[in-house]
Structure 1
Amino acid sequence: MKLKLLLASATSALVLQASAQQVKFTEYDLANGLHVILHQDKTAPVVAVSVMYHVGSKDEIPGRTGFAHFFEHLLFEGSDNMKRGDFMKIVSDNGGRNNANTSQDRTFYYETFPSNQLELGLWLESERMLHPKIEEAGVRTQNEVVKEEKRMRVDNQPYGKYIDVISRHLFQGHPYRWQPIGSMADLDAAKLQEFQAFFKKNYVPANAVLSIAGDISIENTKALVEKYFAEVPKGNPVTKAEYVLKPITKEIVDTAYDANIQIPAIMTAYRAPGMRSRDAKALNMLSTLLSGSGSSRLSTKMVDDKKTAIQVSAFNLTMEDYGIYIALALPGNNTPLNNLLADIDAEVLKVQNELISEKEFTKLQNQFENAAVSANSTMIGLAENLADGYTFHAKNTNAINEELKEIKSITREEIRAAARKYLNKESRVVLYYLPKK
């Protein structure tokens, strides 16, 4: 048994070492502005085809929220060369799978196929970009789909609305104050011409990245990309609005009620820097220190030792312009919420005043190295991370290879400095999240 464990451990180490190697890629632009990234990996006969559009809920306007997420659904409706509803059937009939997701800052579509279906994947994504069906019938259908998704994931989901409440306080004056799901009233009120205009403005080649990873020939793939995407019209340049928010100078205390919960929660939230900031990475490490595992500081103190909480969590939601650093706890043994808040604050104060130990620091670095390896362990993960680098790191696709090095260069002093700079009581939201009677 010991020999088996040693062999398994050695094999895992080799896999991690191999996975942590530099990701090689080829990148170039088509004449219409579409950025193309290709990564060849012949270890398995699989290919991932993806398109990341640099459009999210941040690109919407008040009164017409939810458009980016709506298009995540609408662009599966078909095209001039594909009947409505056939997109997913074509994918599944050819051994593939597909999905899409939308954030505040981008929309990501992808398919994974056996590698001999690469051309099919490229045709599907070019159809989505070139001439999708944006018609009344599809808009009505997807409107109902989005409403049902909102009911399931937000309205009827326990603790499903706290991010919305927090964001409204932290991001007054910025589109981050609403969530990607948007307002159903806004979608109901929108005219077909508004959806068509939103597509024409944002879903142009220069606002997108085509990222392909897997068992491919680079030269053959270039020829196929040219075949299917070169004819897409260039469109007009996309100009991004810039937002600079005033600092929060006084603690905001609010109460929200949720009919889907029986156990209350206490939450603190701070406006954090955007994803490109080195401080954002330091806050990511800090949140992992506080609650990233069962042996983390908050979990050990509040769940294991004092047994005042049944759950405690700290995490840093990073977006392009800003982020949200959140710490929350659910009480156990009828512990008052203010007692939980005091314990969370005490741990934050400790990090602000004392350097974390060398042992904790080494553990953090190992956790982030493992996370980086896992993030690049699939073809679709690689395709997405390559596109992320180009889209959000000043067109630096090589960020996929630099991210871990930068994280490992962050010092204990920087973690302490980030806690001092951003986690201050006078610039936070405290939310009492209570059951609705």
Structure 2
Amino acid sequence: MLLSPLSTAEAQSGTVYEHTLENGLKILVREDHRAPVVVSQVWYKVGSSYEPGGITGISHMLEHMMFKGTKDYPAGEFSRIVAENGGQENAFTGADYTAYFQTLEKSRLEISFKLEADRMRNLDLKAEELEKELQVVTEERRMRTDDKPRAKTHEQFAAVAFTNSPYQNPVIGWPSDIARYKIEDLQAWYQKWYAPNNATLVVVGDVQADDVIGLATRHFGGLKPSEIQPAKPQDEIPQVGPRKLTVKAPAQLPYVMMGYKVPVLKTARPEWEAYALEVLAGILDGGNSARLSSRLIRGKQLAVSANADYDMTSRLQDLFLLEGTPADGKSVFDLEYALKDEVAQLQNDLVTPDELQRVKAQVAANDVFQKDSNFYQAMQLGLLETIGLGWQKADEYVQKINQVTAEQVRAVARKYLIEDSLTVAYLDPQPINETAKPNKTAGGRHAF
């Protein structure tokens, strides 16, 4: 197959080049010539939000198994070859994606393509390797969730906050499901989702786009696509009243977590609501001068920590989160009421011009800072493409944030931060057994 030079139409932003192979693999290339390195990432449109009941966490399990070898490259060879060539590699699984990456000196890019193309369709899944990795994942779950009271609270919180959305399930999976994985489950999941027409190859670094696409065509172009049925919609049903839960776990400090059902960039109608929620999160928690820090931590001294979080790049409707640890002598209920009071003030009064400008300046500065990283640039492009928004949204972010008004911030606070869509979780600390020392974690791949 002859490859014609990229046209200016394929470089819609002036820096990102897009090309799709005949088998459906989408390739995105951003040239960044500041250092002789390159980041290569392969993103698959599958994560925990695609999983049916009984096999929760299987996307994460398959991520582990992707390092167990093919006929051409047995277990351990992938990592050995990358390391031998001075590179770094790993993988991560989220609710909406699974991705694999390598960072290499620019002349070694073909090594990445050769290895990733091989395991995209030729993974050699073995029952004995699954048995070993089940122990690794079980230990990973214990270290990351079961032995961490806040993480345990987050998991229980999500299970209550969502009724029928797959976001109610943890990315790593429920213990009973992990224990019952069969090699046939992994093989079916791999065959269903791991194909060029369900993947995006993102390359950022000191490369020429034409060269990258030529190499990608050589190594990925011969792979056969699959018949991929889109995941069925799983829209969360409307919440009809507040929900509360208490998690009892060994811990030193109490903790409260609150979440309101909100739209994300993909689901917001009109779209500006997602950007307004992003600004609202910055008003509350965007540095030392933000409201939660200046008022609840330093001012009223109600909390030792207080945070707000909103992820506008989820695939499905998500949550606007508030969380914190009360100060000594204060209760989780004191902090809950204080957080609700901050929400009420956002609903009643317009944020000040100074606050609005502070958040917008921070967004612009962070965007510039993050683009210093080839890895972050690739992450941003891969994520937006994989969740179905399209990579072009990356170039709109700062502009859209700058268009948000104080009236829009108040409007989304009034519309979405309401009691009927609220879930609250309290961590009730239990005595810590000092004699039960955790074992060192086993090695293996992990979700970020």
TM-score w.r.t. the length of structure 1 is 0.91
**Which residue pairs with 1:255 in the alignment?**
246
Instruction: Give the number of the structure whose residues are more often helix, by fraction.
Output: 1
CA distance in 2, matches of 1:295, 1:341: 21
**Which residue pairs with 2:9 in the alignment?**
none
CA distance in 2, matches of 1:362, 1:114: 40
1:37 is paired with a residue whose SS is strand
**Which residue pairs with 1:133 in the alignment?**
124
**Which residue pairs with 2:324 in the alignment?**
329
1:130 offset after TM fit, Å? 2.3
- 1:388 matches 2:388: no
1:36 is paired with a residue whose SS is strand
CA distance in 1, matches of 2:92, 2:273: 26
> Which one of 114, 119, 125 corresponds to residue 110 of structure 2?
119
2:256 partner amino acid:
I
> Which one of 260, 273, 282 corresponds to residue 263 of structure 2?
273
CA deviations 1:291-349 (Å, max 9, x no partner) are 22122112111211221211111111442111111112211131122221111111110
1:138 offset after TM fit, Å? 2.1
**Which residue pairs with 2:169 in the alignment?**
178
1:393 offset after TM fit, Å? 4.2
1:390 offset after TM fit, Å? 2.2
CA deviations 1:85-143 (Å, max 9, x no partner) are 12212111111101211111001111010001011011121122021121112212221
Q: Tell which deviates more after alignment, 309-318 or 193-202.
A: 309-318
CA distance in 1, matches of 2:113, 2:362: 36
2:150 is paired with a residue whose SS is coil
* 5+ long unaligned stretches in structure 2: 1-12, 432-448
Judge conservation of contact 2:257–2:323 (CA < 8 Å) in 1: yes
1:258 is paired with a residue whose SS is strand
CA distance in 1, matches of 2:417, 2:276: 12
CA distance in 1, matches of 2:35, 2:85: 17
Judge conservation of contact 2:96–2:387 (CA < 8 Å) in 1: no
Judge conservation of contact 1:376–1:385 (CA < 8 Å) in 2: no
Question: 1:44-193, aligned counterparts within 5 Å?
Answer: 44-193=35-184
- 1:430 matches 2:424: yes
Judge conservation of contact 2:121–2:194 (CA < 8 Å) in 1: no
Judge conservation of contact 1:207–1:238 (CA < 8 Å) in 2: no
1:417 offset after TM fit, Å? 0.9
2:365 is paired with a residue whose SS is helix
The alignment yields a C-alpha RMSD, in angstroms, of: 1.5
1:201 partner amino acid:
K
**Which residue pairs with 2:353 in the alignment?**
358
Judge conservation of contact 1:48–1:112 (CA < 8 Å) in 2: yes
Judge conservation of contact 1:47–1:112 (CA < 8 Å) in 2: yes
> Which one of 402, 412, 425 corresponds to residue 406 of structure 2?
412
**Which residue pairs with 1:203 in the alignment?**
194
1:79 offset after TM fit, Å? 1.4
CA distance in 2, matches of 1:218, 1:317: 31
Judge conservation of contact 1:23–1:400 (CA < 8 Å) in 2: no
CA deviations 1:380-423 (Å, max 9, x no partner) are 211221222322344x3222211221121122111111111111
Q: Tell which deviates more after alignment, 374-383 or 69-78.
A: 374-383
Judge conservation of contact 2:138–2:178 (CA < 8 Å) in 1: no
Classify 1:329/1:384 alpha carbon distance in 2 versus 1 (closer, same or farther; 3 Å).
Answer: closer
Q: Percent identity?
A: 29
CA distance in 1, matches of 2:406, 2:197: 40
Classify 1:316/1:23 alpha carbon distance in 2 versus 1 (closer, same or farther; 3 Å).
Answer: farther
CA distance in 1, matches of 2:331, 2:185: 49
**Which residue pairs with 1:214 in the alignment?**
205
1:381 is paired with a residue whose SS is helix
2:80 is paired with a residue whose SS is helix
Classify 1:408/1:207 alpha carbon distance in 2 versus 1 (closer, same or farther; 3 Å).
Answer: same
**Which residue pairs with 1:11 in the alignment?**
none
CA distance in 2, matches of 1:327, 1:389: 25
- 1:297 matches 2:287: no
1:245 offset after TM fit, Å? 2.2
1:73 is paired with a residue whose SS is helix
* 5+ long unaligned stretches in structure 1: 1-21
Classify 1:163/1:333 alpha carbon distance in 2 versus 1 (closer, same or farther; 3 Å).
Answer: closer
- 1:348 matches 2:357: no
Question: 1:17-28, aligned counterparts within 5 Å?
Answer: 24-28=15-19
1:81 offset after TM fit, Å? 0.9
**Which residue pairs with 2:282 in the alignment?**
288
CA distance in 2, matches of 1:210, 1:176: 26
Classify 1:138/1:86 alpha carbon distance in 2 versus 1 (closer, same or farther; 3 Å).
Answer: same
- 1:379 matches 2:369: no
